[in-house]
Amino acid sequence: MYEKFKDLLEEDFGIVYISAMYNVLNLLFVMVLVPTQVKQSQWMVLVILSLLSLSLLGVPIAKFLSKQVFVLLAGVAAMFLWAIVSYFEQSAAFIVGMLLPFATLLNFRYKYKTGMFYILSGIFVQLALLASQVKLTTQDIALSCVLGLGCALYLLVDRYWREKIRRHTQEVKVISLEMEKAKAKIAAAEKGFEFFLGRFVLQFKEPVSVMMGINNILQFNDTNPMRLDFMRRQFLTGQYLLSEFDQLVTGITQHLPNTRILSEPFNLDEVLVVVENRLSLARNESDLQCEVIFNNNAKQIVLGDKFRLSQVMLSLIDVVIEEYDSLSELNITMSADSLKLGDHVELKVTIFHNGQREDEISNEKPDKLSTQYFEKMFESLGYDLNFATLMIEQMESTLSISHDDAQGTYYNFVLFMPVAEDFTETGVDLVDQDVQKNWYGELLDIRILVVDDNKEACFVIKELLELAGAIVNIEHTGDAAVKTVLEGETRFDCVIMDLQMPNMNGLEATKAIREKYSKFDLPIIGLSINGIENQLLACLDAGMNKFSIKPFNIIDFIDFFQNALKNSNNPINKKLSPLSDEEALRMIKLPDGYDVDLALANLGGDKELYRSILDATLDEWHINIHQLQSALKRNDIHYARHVLSRFANNALMVGAVELDNYLRQLIFSLSLRSLDQDNEDINVLSLSVEIEDQIWQSIRVLKSIADALKR
Amino acid sequence: MLEQLRLIDLQEVYDCFGGNVVVVRKTITRVNEHFPAQWQELLESIESQNTQQIDVLAHRLAGTLLMVGASGFSSYLRKMSHFARDGNVPTVEMMKDSERYYDTLIREMNLILTKLDDQH
């Protein structure tokens, strides 16, 4: 309790408390000490005056209410007092009744003036008592005066002392600011790490980030928004904040010699977010139409002071919002004309509004010479514009305002912000990665046709293949590719084919090429940005040797091509001996669960028979899998079991050992479930996905075995 | 203190290009030069609600983006392509997202090129 009271006294509201208590005590003093002297008709006046003074307690209460609610209450109180006091025609009490609400309202802007109002109101209370013909003894008056003088003295001392503390704060507290944090920072700075003042500020939220940052450094912690607003206004009068901010920075740099105040790279989008937040508040508070436009060039990573830029923007917006009550539209355009990277981005900020000041409407219009008019405005508009101007000056720029009654007002400033260049944290050294360079020349004199409607893709693939020594031709459509391969003079060693192309797609083109050239005569690699299962199968069915997902990888391609070349019937491969069946099977790297040797042994080592069984099995499975899908879809477990048995019958014969096991277990499990008629918990969907996955995987492997043996 | 590249996976580009910085640079330069015009073409087709054209262009741009390691943006355009293939025109929300991607991509490509210019 004591700590809380002490806090209240120490902060700005302490003055208000003291003056309020002064008035209350004054009245209580009179009412307690001299009750007998008060006539019955005058009691009402005293009660009203007491209520007035007690209403001052509304000030501390107001700190926990919203500003709007408090002003509303004050207004209601004023009306109530007006009515009562008018009834008794007590002129002195009337004046007091009018003064107090005014004093309360003014409290939010001018602390010391408010304090003086309270003192004055106290005097009026005394005058009212005198007017009511209450006879006070000399001691009563003396005690009352002591109370009044005490309060006045407190105000004076407080003001003097606070100023002194502030001056000290800049010199002393900065050094010892939040010592625990500061020590850590200093330790980091001494080790050569960079110390960034902005981090303090970054901890706080807009719209009072800078003020809160500094407040916090000066240990004015508070989270009550109304009080913060009050403090903000106190801090932002004139150049106070700026000088304090500068001295803060100077203090840190002086006392921490190893410290550098950095301009941290930031994205202008971050400023935009702050500005947008402020504008959305404005939109909610009024029907203001606000729009912010950033052109693309403005969205750069630049070096600079994000908070300062944000504050400039916010202050200007506040000027516009506060000063132009008839504002109908507020447009902010931020653009950067220059995109010269490694240099400076010239950031031009223009705030335009088409509203008019109220005084322009009601009063005589000012001189058209805008400069003079706005110079005058700079003085009178108070902290927001002044603050923005000085902030901009600190960023070595100027704020200019142009005004035309017919068109509106433009606030312009131009900042030069260096583009952030260093971005080594990409995790990649932007140099040749020599370790992979051994692929150069690996495709020497190999003729490759690249078919892709995407010119950028063709460009990249051509560049890479040429580095590898290949001779590259390019076609952008499937039909052109077919014509080149089938009718052209060049005999290609490989075709790289995009799948999705206008007119004739890659699959159609491959099928057309395959009518003349087999997989072993001319390898075709399918390229697509979609890696879906169906596409893979479609590619293999169409006759492609391999399917790759973009982007094109030169190392993978060379690996593939060299393997393909070994199996190729292409004349270029004359020097290479053809692979045996065993070698071909080894090349495809059979996964676990497949035993071709076992399958061959079961067939007496007859490879031709095995090959024909494999082909027949694959054909049958393609049909069976659709039957299985439809059976599972209609929850026909009995038929699904039947189809699965067909798969199982062939699986072992072609060497798919694990699939055989899996299917037999599954069939057994389904048999048990179908016997239990009440069992409803068969998750058909997940079962379907699992079975299909297993079978498709087997189909792929068996197809690769079949291809290898067809060679 | 320095910003990470958010859209472009430069390591992936290097891997695909066999570690050759010259091709990396050439590719990014080329995409950086041509992408804005192609993007504009896509926007125009969206404005004219030509879904067939949107499909083709978005798909093509998606392929281009994979070349510079912007797989996230590429995936986004692929979705747009599929969306258009079903006869739908991209929504305002989709376009807002894609504009954000676009701005970031251009900025990151410029940053990489600036860095490469400094080094060579």
Which residue, among A25, A73, A33, has the nearest Cα to A50 in the 3D structure?
A25
- Over 80: is that where the pLDDT of A69 sits? no
In whole angstroms, give the CA distance from residue A208 to residue A227.
Answer: 12
Task: Quote the pLDDT of residue A160.
Answer: 57
Q: What is the mean pLDDT of residues A297-310?
A: 68
Q: Is the CA virtual torsion A82, A87, A91, A92 positive or negative?
A: negative
Q: For residues B43 and A267, give the distance between their C-alpha atoms in angstroms, rounded to a whole number.
A: 25
Residue A61 clears pLDDT 60, i.e. is over it? no
Query: Would the pLDDT of A225 be above 80?
Result: no
Least confident of A143-152, A329-338, A358-367: A358-367
CA distances to A485, A595, A656, A662 from A592, in Å: 39, 8, 9, 14
Q: Rounded to a whole number, what is the distance in Å from the CA of B94 to chain A's nearest CA?
A: 18
What residue spans of A324-445 are helical by DSSP H?
Answer: 358-362, 370-380, 383-394
- Whether residue A203 contacts residue A213, with contact meaning beta carbons closer than 8 Å, is answered with yes
Q: Would you list the DSSP string of A231-284?
A: HHHHHTSTTHHHHHHHHHHHHHHHH-TT-----EEEEHHHHHHHHHHHHHHHHH
Cis peptide before A101 (omega within 30 of 0): no
DSSP, collapsed to helix, strand or coil, labels residue A473 as strand
Lowest-confidence pick of A76-80, A470-474, A591-595: A76-80
* pLDDT < 50 stretches in chain B: 1-3
Per-residue confidence (pLDDT) for residue A26, from 0 to 100:
58
Of B21, B56, B103, the CB nearest to A431: B21
Residue A566 contacts residue A579 (beta carbons within 8 Å): yes
Model confidence pLDDT, tens digit, residues A649-677? 778 778 888 888 888 777 777 766 654 44
Is residue A60 pLDDT above 60, yes or no?
no
* pLDDT confidence band for A379 (50 / 70 / 90): very low
CA-to-CA dists, residue B35 to A454, A502, B63, angstroms: 12, 20, 12
For the ranges A27-41, A332-346, A695-709, the maximum mean pLDDT occurs at A695-709
Full-model pTM: 0.39
pLDDT at position A655 is 82
Which residues in chain A have Cβ-Cβ distances shorter than 8 Å to B107?
Answer: 299-301
- Torsion over CA: A385, A388, A392, A394 (sign): positive
Predicted-complex ipTM score: 0.92
Give the one of A421, A433, A463 whose C-beta lies nearest to B114's C-beta: A421
Mean pLDDT of A629-646: 76
DSSP A105-125: HHTTT-HHHHHHHHHHHHHHH
CA–CA gap between residue A30 and residue A22 (Å, rounded): 12
* Confidence band of A201 (pLDDT split at 50, 70, 90): very low
SS3 A604: coil
Supply the DSSP symbol for A325: T
Confidence class of residue A260 from pLDDT cuts 50, 70 and 90?
very low
Predicted confidence band of residue A267 (pLDDT cuts 50, 70, 90): confident
A342 touches chain B (CB under 8 A): yes
Distance from CA of B24 to the nearest CA of A (A): 9
Please state whether A338 falls in left (phi above 0), alpha (psi between -120 and 50) or beta: beta
SS3 A165: helix
pLDDT, one tens digit per residue, over A161-184 is 555 444 433 332 333 333 444 445
What would the two tokens of residue A342 be?
């490694």
Is the model more confident about B93 or about A531? B93
**Residue A502's closest chain B neighbor by CA?**
B56
Cβ neighbours, 10 Å, residue A259:
20
For chains A and B, what is the number of CB pairs under 8 angstroms?
139
pLDDT for the residue A451: 92
Residue B86 in contact with partner chain A when CB distance is under 8 A? no
* Residue A445 scores a pLDDT above 70: yes
Using CA atoms in the order A535, A536, A537, A538, what is the torsion angle rounded to 10 degrees? 40
Is residue A360's pLDDT more than 80?
no
Using a CB–CB cutoff of 8 Å, tell me whether A439 touches chain B: yes
Q: Compute the average pLDDT of residues A93-106.
A: 49
Instruction: Indicate the pLDDT class of residue A598, thresholds 50, 70 and 90.
Output: confident
Which pLDDT does position A450 carry in this prediction? 92
Q: Report how far residue A314's alpha carbon sits from residue A332's, in angstroms, rounded to the nearest whole number.
A: 11
Of the two residues B8 and A72, the one the predictor is more confident about is B8
Average pLDDT (A506-531) is 84
Question: For the residues A591-610, what does the mean pLDDT come to?
Answer: 75
Tokens of A618: 């694959």
Q: What is the pLDDT of residues A124-152, one digit of tens each?
A: 555 555 555 555 556 655 665 666 566 55
Predicted confidence (pLDDT) at residue A368 exceeds the cutoff of 50: no
For chain B, say whether A428 makes contact (Cβ under 8 Å).
yes
Query: What average pLDDT does range A500-508 have in this prediction?
Result: 85
Minimum CA–CA partner of A433 in chain B: B19
- B49 shares contact with chain A (CB less than 8 Å): no
Q: Lowest-confidence range among A393-407, A480-494, B56-70?
A: A393-407
Contact (CB, 8 A) for A256 and A298: no
From CA A602, how far away is CA A595, in angstroms rounded? 11
Average pLDDT taken over every residue of chain A: 63
Using CA atoms, how far apart are residues A286 and A96, in angstroms rounded to an integer?
34
Q: What values do phi and psi take at A595, rounded to 5?
A: -135, 90
Question: Average of pLDDT values for A439-448?
Answer: 80
Q: A292, A332 in Cβ contact below 8 A?
A: yes
Q: What is the pLDDT of residue A609?
A: 75
Instruction: Using pLDDT thresholds of 50, 70 and 90, give the confidence band for residue A449.
Output: very high
Let me know if A467 is exposed, middle or buried by CB neighbors in 10 A (0-12, 13-18, 19+): buried
B65 and A CB contact within 8 Å: no
**Of all residues in chain A, what percent carry a pLDDT higher than 70?**
40
**Which stretches within chain B are classed as H helix?**
10-16, 21-47, 51-67, 71-85, 92-119
What is residue A509's predicted lDDT score, i.e. its pLDDT?
A: 92
Tokens coding A143: 């005690």
A210 contacts: CB under 8 Å, gap ≥ 6:
A201, A241, A245, A307, A308, A311
Average pLDDT over residues A35-48: 56
Q: Is the pLDDT of residue A583 over 50?
A: yes
